Chains A and B, each alone.
Chain A
Amino acid sequence: MATKKLLYHFNRPPYGTVFQTEGWRAGVGAIAGIDEHEVVILMQGDGVYYALKDADRKENLGYEQTLKKVDTKVYAVSEDLEKRGISLNEIAPDITLIKASETLRLYEEADFNLDW
C-alpha cells in the first residue's frame, strides 16, 4: 500500500473520553508505519475546545511532538471557536484556523478519514 492522505476529524469534547487521545495516538501510528501516511487533523464542533492554549495537553504531548516532526497540520474551525466564545488570543499558536466552508475540501483531498 502506498502513502495515503488521512484526515482525522475530532468531533467530540477533548476530555472525559479517550477518543481524542486515541486519535493522536493513531495519528502517530499512521505516520510511523512503513507507508509513512500523511495525517491532517481537523477539530470541529466540541472538538475545538482542545485548541485553547490553556488546555492540558500533557497526555498527548509525545504524540503531538512526533506529528509535528513531519509537519502535521492541525486545524480548528473558526466558526465553532467563535460559537463557543473562544477568541483568537485564547488559541494555542500551533493550531491553524480554517473556515467551515473550507472543510469539505479536506474531506475531498483525503483518501480516508477517521472520526475521533
Chain B
Amino acid sequence: MLYLVDKPNGENAARVANMDSEAKVVLIKDGVYLNPIDFSGKLYAMEDDLEIRGLKERLSGKVEPIDYAKLVDLIVDNKVINFA
C-alpha cells in the first residue's frame, strides 16, 4: 500500500508501514524532516517540499525525490493510506 506521511503522524505511519512488506512511503510537507532510517520500505519525498526547506542536497540516498506527476501515478496505482 502507499503511505502519504506528514511529520505529526510520522510515528503512527512508520509503525503500520513497516509491517507492510509492500509499503511505499511518500514524505510530504514537514514529513521530509522525518528520519529515513525509521522506514523500512521504498521511500519517496516530494521534491518541492525538500527544495523549499533546503534539504535537496542533504538527501539520504535511500530517498527518491518525486514530482507531483509521479505522486499522481503512485496514488492511482496503489491503495492509499493517508497520514498527511
**A and B: real partners?**
yes
A-side interface residues toward B, CB under 8 Å? 9, 11-12, 44-45, 100-101, 103-104, 107-108, 113-115
**CA A107 – CA B16 in complex, angstroms?**
9
Q: A9-B12, A104-B20 are in contact. List 20 more A-B contacts (CB 8 A).
A: A11-B8, A11-B12, A12-B9, A44-B15, A45-B12, A100-B15, A101-B19, A103-B15, A103-B19, A104-B16, A104-B19, A107-B1, A107-B20, A107-B81, A113-B81, A113-B82, A114-B82, A115-B82, A115-B83, A115-B84
B11 sits at the interface (CB 8 A): yes
Determine how close the nearest CB of chain B comes to the CB of A48; give it in whole angstroms.
Answer: 10
Complexed CA–CA distance, A45 and B16 (Å)? 12
For the complex of A and B, 5 pairs with smallest distance between CB atoms = A104-B19, A45-B12, A115-B82, A11-B9, A11-B12
Q: Cα distance A38–B11 when bound, in Å?
A: 27
In the assembled complex, the Cα of A108 lies from the Cα of B82 at a distance in Å of: 13
A18 to chain B, nearest CB (A): 15
12 contacts between A and B (CB under 8 A): A11-B8, A11-B83, A12-B8, A44-B15, A104-B19, A107-B1, A107-B20, A108-B1, A113-B81, A113-B82, A115-B82, A115-B84
Closest residue of chain A to B11 (Cβ to Cβ) is: A45
CB within 8 Å for A103 and B8 given contacts A11-B83, A113-B82, A114-B82 = no
Among B9, B11, B12, B83, which residue has the most Cβ atoms of chain A within 10 A? Answer: B12
A44 touches B82 (CB 8 A): no
Q: Closest B-chain residue to A10, C-beta based?
A: B12
> CA of A8 to CA of B9 in the docked complex: distance in angstroms?
14
- Closest CB in chain B relative to A102 CB, distance in Å: 9
Please, how many angstroms separate the alpha-carbon atoms of A12 and B12 in the complex? 10
With CB as the reference atom, state the residue of chain B lying closest to A105.
B19
**A43–chain B nearest beta-carbon distance, Å:** 10
